Structure 1
Amino acid sequence: MSNQTEKTIAVVKGLIMDGVAKANSGHPGGAMSSADYATILYSEFLNFNPDDSKWFNRDRFILSAGHESMLLYSLLHLNGFISIEDIQNFRQLGSLTPGHPEVHLTPGVEATTGPLGQGFSMSVGFAAAEAYLREKLGSDVVDHYTYVLSSDGDLQEPIALGAASLAGLWGLGKIIAYYDSNKIQLAGPTCNSDCTDHKKVFEGMCWHVIEVDGHNHDEIRAAIKAGQQETSKPTLIIGHTTMAKGCATMEGSHKTHGEPLKADEIAATKKKLGLPADDFHVPADVLESYRARFDSMRKKAADWQTVVDAKLSEADFAEMWGHVTKPRPELEIAWPEFTPGETMATRQAWGKCLDAVMDSLPTLVGGSADLDPSNQTLNFRTTYGDFAVDGYASRNLAFGVREFPMAAIMNGMQLHGGLLPFGATFLTFSDYCRNAIRMSSLQELPVLYVFTHDSFWVGEDGPTHQPIEHVSSLRLIPDLIDLRPADAQETAVCLDIALKQEKHPSVIFLTRQGLPVMDPAEYPAVIDGPRKGGYILKDCEGTPELILIASGSEVSLALETAKLFKRKVRVVSMPSAKLFDDQPDSYKNAVLPPEVTSRAAAEAGRTDYWYKYVGLGGVVLGVDHFGASAPGKILSDKYGFTPENFASMIRQKY
C-alpha cells in the first residue's frame, strides 16, 4: 500500500467529516466506508479531462448512493472542479454542493442521484449509449467506462435488479459497478431486512462478479483491472467494508449513516488517521500526488480531438458526428402527411411518424416495455433489430416488462449525450415510471415518454388498464411537457415539439380508438397551434358566448357538441396545459377572454384539473371513478361522452 494513497484517503475522510459537521446534516458513515475504493478509482483509473468536465470521451462515474455526496464532492475538489469554499458550503442555499448530487449544478457530477436504485439503473443507460456510439463512430472516438458506486439501499430497490438484468443480457462490458457492502443501513444492520446473496444473483444475470476487502487497496486495484479486462460482461465488485471506516469509536455504527459525527469523535478520528485538527485540511503534497496524472490525461484528450478532426474528412463519420452533436432545436424532421377525414388512432399516427423519421434520425433509439405491437414500435424493432442481441448498432431497446428501469435507462442515455431516447408503454403503467419521470424533469433531460391507451376507451381490458388520474397526475410534475394530441395532425406537431426540446422531458398520451383526422384547410390552426399548448381550433364571429375546451380524443367531441348550439361558440384544443400556461397573459387572454365566463371542458380523465380554465362554477365532463370492462363505445355512452350529453350539461348551467 502507498503511504501517499493512505494519506489522500485520510484527507478525503477529513473533508467528509468536516463538511457534514459544518452543515450539521448529512451522511458520513457510508461515504467513509466507500472512500478507499472511490479515491483509488479517481486518482489512478478514472479517465477525464481536468480542464473540461464535459469532455465527450471521459469515463463516467455515477454515485448511485447519492447520500454519500460528500465523498464525491471531496474528490471533485481534488479534481479542481469545485473549490474548498464549495465544500464548506455543503447543503447550503445556492451552493454547488447540495445534499444529493445534481447534474445540472455541479461540474463533474454525471447524474442527479438520491432516490436509491436509479443511479445504478441510469448507469446502464450510460453504458448502452457508449456501446451504440462506439459501434457507430468507432472505438477511437468513443471508448470509455461507466463506473457506478452503489450501496445496500440501491440493490434493495427492485429497479436496480431490473436494470442489471438488461445490462447482463446486453453484455455491457464497460460497466464496472462497485457495491459498498458495509452491511449497515439507516435503520440498522442490513440483515434485519435482507438475506440476498448478491454474488449468486448477479452471476445469474450474466455479470462478472468479484469480491474484495473494500479496504485492501491492492485488492481494489486488481478488481478494477479485472473488470476492465472483462469485455463481454458487466462487472460487479462487491467490496466488503466497515461503515464509517477509520472512526475512533463509531466504526460499524448505523448512527453514522445519517447523522454528523460529534466534535470529539471527529477530533479523535483525525488523530487516528494522522490528520491535523484543522478543518477542511488539504495539504499541497496530496494535491500534487493526486493530480500527477493530469498532464497525461490532458494529452489524451488533445490526441482524441486530433482523431476526431481527422475523421471529419470521412463522409459517413462526419454525417453521424453531425447527428450526435447537433442541438435538438436545429433538428430537421420531415413528418408524414395524413389524409383528412380518415379515422386513425393517435397511437397509430405515432407509429407512422416513427416509421417516417427513423431513417433520417440515426440517433433516435428506444423501445417498448414488451408492448411493441400495441405501442406501434414493432416496425422500428423489425427494421433496426434489438440492441446488443442483434448487435450494438441495433436501435430497438427490448426493455421487457420493466417500466421503471426503462425510464431510468432512458435518463442515463440522455445524460450520456449524443442520442434521442424514447420509451413506450401503456399510460396506466406510467405509475411504475413516475419517479424516473420526475428525475427526467429535475435533471433537465428531454427524453420522450410514449404512453398509449390513454383512457377508458381501452374498453374490454377493464379498470386495471384504463387510466383515470394519470394525465392530471403527470401534469403536476414541474417542467414536464404534457402532450395529448387530438388527431394525427396534432400528433406529428406534438412529436416535433418533444424532439426539439433542450431541457424538458415530454409525455405524449395516445389513443387506442380511432379519431377523425382534421383537415388543415378547415382548421388551419392545427398546423402550428399545438406549439402554444392551447389554441383556437374553431372560432365564431366576434366575442364568443361559450368556450369549449378539450384535449385529445375529446376535441372531436367538442367540435360535434358546438354544432348543437345556436349561440356563438369557440372551440379550444389544448394538447398541452404546460405549454399553454407558459404563454404570456396576452396570448392566454386572447384564447380564453376573461369576460367570457361561460366555459366547459372535456377530457376522459379526472375533472379537477380543468377548473383552472373553466372557473370553479364551470362545466367539466370527465371521469372521477374507475372504469369497467366493456367495449369503449358502451362506456362512452354510460359515462356521458356524447355530444348530446355534453350539450345538456352546458345548457343546465348556462
Structure 2
Amino acid sequence: MNPMLVNVVKGLIMDATRAANSGHPGGAMSSADYACVLFRDFLKYDPSDPKWFDRDRFVLSAGHESMLLYSLLHLAGFLSMDEIKRFRQWGSLTPGHPEHDLTPGVEATTGPLGQGLAMAVGMAAAEAHLRARLGADVCDHYTYVLASDGDFQEGVAYGAATLAGLWGLGKLIVYYDSNKVQLAGPTSRVDCTDYRKIYEGICWQVIDIDGHDHEQIRRAIAEAQQETGRPTLIIGHTVMAKGSASREGDFGTHGEPLSPEEIAATKKRLGLPEAEAFYCPAEVGGDFRGRQPALSRLAEAWRGNLADKKAHNAEFAAAWEWTTKDRGALTFEWPAFDPAKKYATRQAWGACLNALIEQLPPLVGGSADLDPSNQTAKFRDTVGNFNADTPLGRNLAFGVREFPMGAIANGIALHGGLIPFTATFLTFSDYMRNAVRMSALQKLPVLHVYTHDSFHLGEDGPTHQSIEHVASLRLIPNLLVLRPADAIETAACLEIALRQEETPSCLCLTRQGLPTLDPAVFPQVAAGVARGGYVLADCEGTPDVVLLATGSEVSLALDTVKLLKDLKIRVVSMPCVELFEMQDEAYKTSVIPEGARLYAAAEAGRPEGWHRYVGRKGLILGIDHFGHSAPANVLAEEYGFTPENLARLIRERLV
C-alpha cells in the first residue's frame, strides 16, 4: 500500500470539514487506517456499478465520520473531487451524514448511532438467506461495519448483535474504532463495559488489535473471514485525531473542524503540502484502485454465470425472478371473509399473511415475541425460523426487541431481494419509532404491522392502549398509516403496502371483532381504499352531515346513521390519510363536498389531525387522555364511543 494513502485521506478529511466549517474530523482520522486497508485490499465491489448484487456491503455506522467514507468513494471513482469540496453544502452528494439513496457507494443512512450496526445485521441475515436460496455462486458476500463508541452505547446495537450471534451470521464483520473519546469527553466517564466479554457472551468471535497497525488489521480481517459460524467483532484500539500535530486524543476534535493552523502543522507532520487543499496525487489513487481490474473481471464472470444459470436451471430462474421482481407488479389472491361474521382486523391480517406464504416467497419477517397476538404463529410454524441451521427459514424470531426488529428489517430491505415485515402492539411502536422514521427517510418499503390499536383492547390497561400513536405516526413524512375498517379493507390495505416501491407502511389493526363490509352492498371498498378515502355510505343530494371515520369507528359511524334517519348523512371511510392527500382536488372534493351543515370525524385516538377536514367548528369524537383497565364495552360507554352518544353529539351541533 502506498505509504501516503492514509495521510492523503486524512488531509481530505481535514480540508473538507474546514471548508464547510462543520464536521467530525477526529473519529474519521482515528478510523482511517482500518478503512483504507479494508477498501484497498479486501472489499469486493464492481467499479462500474455501485449497486452490483453480490458486492460486499460496507456500513459506516459511525455516520458522523462521513468524510472518511466520501474520501474512499472518491478514490474508488464513485465521487468527484468537486463533490468532496462541496461537503455539507446544498445539493451536494456529500451531506453531513451519508444517505444511501443519494450517494453512490453508500449502503445505509446512518445518522442515528447504533442503527447502522443493526441494519447491517439485517443485511447479513438477508445475504445468508439468499445464499441458501440462490446458491453461493450468486450470493456470497460480507457485510462490514465501522462503528464507534456511540454505536455501542445505543441499546439498539446490542439488541441486534444478540440476534446476529444467535443466527450465526459468520459473514458479518464489525470493526469497533475504540479511541476512548466521544463528543462530550472521554468514554471512561460514561462506560465501563468490557465489550470483549459482552460479545463473546452473545456468540461472537472477538479480536483485539492496534487499529493503526496495518498488518494487524489485515490479519484480523482475514481471521474474521475464516470464521464461518459466528459474526466477528474487531476491537481496534486507536487514538482520536491520530496524526494531528497537537490534538491527538482531544475530544474536541470529535465534532469540530481543526483550525487552519492545526491543519497546516498536521499536514507538515504527515508529509502533505501545507498550502495545498484537497491534495490527492494520481499515484495514490492509482495504488488504491490497483485491484479494480480484477474486481471488474470478477463481476463480469458473476454476470456470465448468472445468465447461464438462469438459462439452464428453471428453479433458480424462478427464484431469481422473485428476488428482482418489481413490487408494483405484484398481484394477490386474498381469502374470502363471511359478510355475516365479525373479524378483528388483526385476524384478517393473519389470514392474509397465511395466504401469502405460497404466493410471496420473498416475504420474511416476524413478531417481537407476540406471535399469537400478532397472528404470525401459523406463518412461523409453516415457513420455519431463520437461523444458522435453517437459513431458508422465513420467520425472524426477534424476541422482545422492537427497535432492533425495525432496524434489522430496514437492513433486509436495503440489501434487496426480500420483502420484510415486523409486528408488535401499536403502543410499542414508540420503542421502534426511529427505525420507522429511518424506513421512511431511506425510502424503504418495509411493512410494520401493529395490532391492538386502541383503548378497545380493554383490560390490559393504559400502558397497552394506544391513544396518540396513530396521530404520531402520521407526522412522519413518506409513511403510509393504514387503519382498515374491517377484513375487506385489511386485505386492500395490505395489498397497497406490499406494492409500494419507496414508501414504508404501518398497518394498524384491532383486537376486537368488527362487522364485515359485504361486497354485495359495498362493492367500492377495494378501489376506495386505494385512494385513501372514499364514500362508503351516501345520501341523496347535498348531505347535512359528512361523517369521516377510520378503523373500528367506521362501523360506529354506520350504526350512528341508523339513529339519525331524518338527516342526510354521508359516511366516508378514510383508512389512509396520506393516500387521500395524494389525490387531486376534484376527487377529494367529490368525497368531502362543500355545503354540508356539519363535518364530523370519529377515531379512537388523538383528535387534532381531523380539523383539516372538519374545520375549526367541526365535530370530532376522539380521545385525548390515557385509558383505563376495564372491559372494552365499558370503556366505549365511558368514553362515548357508542352510536347513541355520537348521534346525540351530532344533533346538538346541528341545533
Q: TM-score, normalised by structure 2?
A: 0.99
| 2:578 alignment partner in structure 1 | 578
| 1:606 alignment partner in structure 2 | 606
| 1:550 alignment partner in structure 2 | 549
Asked if 1 retains the 8 angstrom alpha-carbon contact of 2:640 and 2:646, the reply is yes
Asked if 2 retains the 8 angstrom alpha-carbon contact of 1:445 and 1:502, the reply is yes
Paired letter, 2:196: K
Shift of 1:389: 5.6
Q: Matches of 2:452 and 2:115 in 1, distance apart?
A: 26
| 2:233 alignment partner in structure 1 | 236
| 1:341 alignment partner in structure 2 | 340
Shift of 1:341: 2.1
Alpha-carbon deviations, 1:16-47, whole Å to 9, x = none?
00000000000000000000000100010000
Matched, 1:379 2:378: yes
| 2:36 alignment partner in structure 1 | 39
Alpha-carbon deviations, 1:384-423, whole Å to 9, x = none?
1110165000000000000000000000000000110000
Matched, 1:652 2:652: yes
Shift of 1:543: 1.6
Alpha-carbon deviations, 1:105-153, whole Å to 9, x = none?
0000000011000000000000000000000000000000000000000
Question: Which has the higher mean CA deviation after the structures are superposed, 255-264 or 327-336?
Answer: 327-336
Alpha-carbon deviations, 1:65-113, whole Å to 9, x = none?
0000000000000011010000000000000000000011000000001
| 1:301 alignment partner in structure 2 | 299
Paired letter, 2:170: G
Alpha-carbon deviations, 1:280-335, whole Å to 9, x = none?
01101011111110010000000001111111121110111010100100112211
1:140 to 107, 120, 137: 137
Asked if 1 retains the 8 angstrom alpha-carbon contact of 2:169 and 2:388, the reply is no
| 2:216 alignment partner in structure 1 | 219
Paired letter, 1:169: L
Q: Matches of 2:606 and 2:448 in 1, distance apart?
A: 21
2:89 to 56, 78, 92: 92
Paired residue secondary structure (1:271): helix
| 1:259 alignment partner in structure 2 | 256
Q: Matches of 2:94 and 2:69 in 1, distance apart?
A: 10
Q: Matches of 2:410 and 2:332 in 1, distance apart?
A: 23
| 1:394 alignment partner in structure 2 | 393
Q: Matches of 1:74 and 1:552 in 2, distance apart?
A: 50
| 1:358 alignment partner in structure 2 | 357
Paired letter, 1:591: V
Q: Matches of 1:359 and 1:531 in 2, distance apart?
A: 24
Shift of 1:610: 1.1
Matched, 1:282 2:280: yes
Paired residue secondary structure (2:359): coil
| 1:616 alignment partner in structure 2 | 616
Alignment of 1:173-252 (within 5 A): 173-252=170-249
Evaluate the alpha carbon distance shift between residue 518 and residue 272 of structure 1 in structure 2; reply closer, same or farther with a 3 A threshold.
same
2:155 to 144, 153, 158: 158
Paired residue secondary structure (1:544): coil
Alpha-carbon deviations, 1:164-222, whole Å to 9, x = none?
00000000000000000000001000000000000000000000000000000000000
Asked if 2 retains the 8 angstrom alpha-carbon contact of 1:341 and 1:518, the reply is no
Matched, 1:446 2:445: yes
Q: Matches of 2:325 and 2:594 in 1, distance apart?
A: 42
| 1:291 alignment partner in structure 2 | 289
Q: Matches of 1:137 and 1:481 in 2, distance apart?
A: 32
Alignment of 1:316-327 (within 5 A): 316-327=315-326
Q: Matches of 1:595 and 1:587 in 2, distance apart?
A: 16
| 1:591 alignment partner in structure 2 | 591
Asked if 2 retains the 8 angstrom alpha-carbon contact of 1:487 and 1:515, the reply is yes
Sequence identity, in percent? 63
| 2:4 alignment partner in structure 1 | 7
Asked if 1 retains the 8 angstrom alpha-carbon contact of 2:44 and 2:295, the reply is yes
Asked if 2 retains the 8 angstrom alpha-carbon contact of 1:179 and 1:237, the reply is yes
Paired letter, 1:18: D
Unaligned runs of 5+ in 2: none
Shift of 1:568: 1.1
Asked if 2 retains the 8 angstrom alpha-carbon contact of 1:29 and 1:244, the reply is yes
Asked if 2 retains the 8 angstrom alpha-carbon contact of 1:597 and 1:614, the reply is no
Shift of 1:359: 1.0
Q: Matches of 2:385 and 2:472 in 1, distance apart?
A: 32
Asked if 1 retains the 8 angstrom alpha-carbon contact of 2:444 and 2:502, the reply is yes
Q: Matches of 1:478 and 1:188 in 2, distance apart?
A: 35
Asked if 1 retains the 8 angstrom alpha-carbon contact of 2:180 and 2:187, the reply is yes
| 2:113 alignment partner in structure 1 | 116
Q: Matches of 1:316 and 1:251 in 2, distance apart?
A: 57
Shift of 1:596: 2.3
Shift of 1:339: 1.2
Q: Would you say how many aligned residue pairs link Structure 1 and Structure 2?
A: 651
Shift of 1:527: 2.2
Q: Matches of 2:544 and 2:621 in 1, distance apart?
A: 19
| 1:49 alignment partner in structure 2 | 46
| 1:369 alignment partner in structure 2 | 368
